[in-house]
Amino acid sequence: MGDQRGTIRLYTCQTDAVLEAIRRDGVCFSKEEYVRRKYEESAPIFLTAYRWFVGEAQRFVPKPPGAQFPYWAFQDLYSMDQSGGHVLALDVPREEAVLFDLYDWNKIVCLKYLGETEKEEKAFHQMLAQCGANENQVMLTAFYPQWKQEILESWGRLFRHHERIKAGDNTSVGSVQAGLWQIKAEWIAQR
């Protein structure tokens, strides 16, 4: 099991293709094309959030050669969608995981403003509504560059808990999620 010093126990659900790549190469990397294929017509929403994450997360864990997009892992099994794949328990070196609150990430995936407080988020949403707009319009069109920039800047709050979680303190988050640039064979816990 993961420990406070070196590793953190995380869970991920992966396809046969990922497992085969790990068996064959000892490591697997996610690609943008996989996200496009998985989400099809919804891909622009996910790609907006994922591309932002890729650009920002490298400040916390450098992206290794071969990596394009992250794999998602969770500290709790109940937080993870377990359909369509194999659940893997991973013991990941803490320095290889970008750690954050699942609920903050869910807001980003929905292209929402990520405020310091719920009250701040509601105020931003109401301001957009009064102007006849919403976060999806702002983020998926070129019509609202100033608001888009405000939303993108707010997303930086995703990483506000990274260092505390990395140190073993997840009391300030609802549920821990991690971004991993790769999945290595040696991280897979033996059952």
**3-state DSSP of 114-171:** CCCCHHHHHHHHHHHHHCCCCHHHHHHCCCCHHHHHHHHHHHHHHHHHHHHHHCCCCC
Q: What is the pLDDT of residue 172?
A: 86
User: Six-digit token pair at 10?
Assistant: 């995380």
- Residue 147 maps to a domain: no
What integer is the mean pLDDT of 115-124?
A: 97
Which has the minimum average pLDDT: 61-65, 79-83, 110-114, 150-154?
Answer: 79-83
- Residue 143 maps to a domain: no
Cα(91)–Cα(143) distance, integer angstroms: 44
Q: What is the pLDDT of residue 4?
A: 46
Q: What is the pLDDT of residue 87?
A: 94
The pair phi, psi for residue 185, each rounded to 5°, is -55, -40
What integer is the mean pLDDT of 75-80?
A: 90
- Residue 36 maps to a domain: yes
pTM, entire model: 0.91
- Residue 169 maps to a domain: yes
Domain count along the chain: 1
- Residue 154 maps to a domain: no
Averaged confidence pLDDT in the chain:
93
Q: What is the pLDDT of residue 3?
A: 53
* Domain boundaries, position 78: 7-110+159-187
What integer is the mean pLDDT of 16-30?
A: 96
Q: What is the pLDDT of residue 35?
A: 85
Percent of the chain with pLDDT over 90: 81
